[in-house]
Amino acid sequence: MGEQPDRTRVEASGSVRRTSPGAKFAAGIVAGMIGGILMIGFMMGYAQVMGAGMMTPLKALGAFVYGVEAFVVGSDAILVGALLQLGFSIVLGILFALFISRGTSTLAALCAGVVVGIVVWVAMDLYVLPYQNPTMAARVALMPLAYFGAHLLYGLGLGMTPAFVRTFSKERRLDKESHDHRSAHAAQTQSI
C-alpha cells in the first residue's frame, strides 16, 4: 500500500505511531459493511428499474441455501441472502483492513479496493456461481454490467478503510490520553 510519510514519524514521546489491531478490525467491519450495502443497494435498484423485482438479488443470494426454491419460500430466503451479503462483505473487509494502516493513502486504498472488487467478481462469475449457485448465475447473466458495477462499488467501500482506521485510532489515542491524564491527576492528588 502507498504510505504517507507520517507513518513512521517518531512522536515527541519517542514512541512510533502504530495502528492497533482493534482499530483495523473495527475499520474493516465498517468499510466492509458500507461496501456490501452499496453493492446490494445498487443491484436492488437496478433490478427494480429493469422490472426484475427489487428483492430478486437477495433471493438469488438466498439460493446459496435454498436452491431454486429461494424464489418461492418468501422472506426467509431474503433474510438469508441479506445475511450472506453482509457477512461475506464484512469478512472480506476485515481481511482487507489487515493490510491497511493509518498512513495508507486514500487513493492507494481505493485502487486496492477496486482491485479486490474485480478479483471477487471474477471468482464469483467463473468459479463460485456456476458450481455453487447456478440459480444466481442465471440471474447475473441477465445483468452482467450491473453485477460488475456493483463489485466496483464494493471496492470503493473498501477504499474507505484507511479513513476509518484513522478515526478509530484517534479515538483510541484520545481515550488513552484522557486515561493517562486522569491517572496523573489522581497521583498528584494522592501525593498532596
Partner 1 sequence: MHILQNRLGKIELFIAAVVVSLLAGCGTSQKQAQPTTATVAPAPETAAAPSAQQIRAKASAMRAQISPEVSTKLNTAMVLAQIHQTNLTEVELAKMARKKGSINGVRAYADQLIQDHTNLDQTVVAIAQKSGNLKAVRRSAHETADEKTVERKLKSANGARFDKLFLQQASSDHERLIRKLQQDREDASNDDLEALIDKMIPILEQHKELAEILMNKEQASGQADQTHG
| 147 forms part of the interface with partner 1 (CB under 8 A) | no
Query: Interface with partner 1 by CB under 8 A: which range of 12-20, 30-38, 63-71, 116-124?
Result: 63-71
Question: Which of 9, 115, 134, 175 is close enough to bind partner 1 by CB under 8 A?
Answer: 134
| 125 forms part of the interface with partner 1 (CB under 8 A) | no
Question: Which of 111, 138, 146, 163 is close enough to bind partner 1 by CB under 8 A?
Answer: 138
C-alpha–C-alpha distance, residues 134 and 115, integer Å: 25
Residue tagged 497521583 (cell numbers): 187
**Cβ(155)–Cβ(96) under 8 Å?**
no
Nearer to partner 1 by C-beta: 20 or 48? 48
- Min dist CB 67 to partner 1, Å, is 9
- Min dist CB 61 to partner 1, Å, is 15
Nearer to partner 1 by C-beta: 57 or 117? 57
- Min dist CB 42 to partner 1, Å, is 17
2-5 contact pairs (CB < 8 A, 24+): 2/104, 2/105, 2/107, 2/108, 3/101, 3/103, 3/104, 3/105, 4/103, 4/104, 4/105, 5/103
Nearer to partner 1 by C-beta: 108 or 128? 128
Q: Residue by residue, what is the 3-state secondary structure of 119-138? A: HHHHHHHHHHHHHHCHHHHH
Other CB atoms closer than 10 Å to residue 13's CB: what's the count? 6
Query: Interface with partner 1 by CB under 8 A: which range of 4-12, 24-32, 132-140, 165-173?
Result: 132-140
Question: Which of 16, 68, 119, 186 is close enough to bind partner 1 by CB under 8 A?
Answer: 68
Residue tagged 473487509 (cell numbers): 93
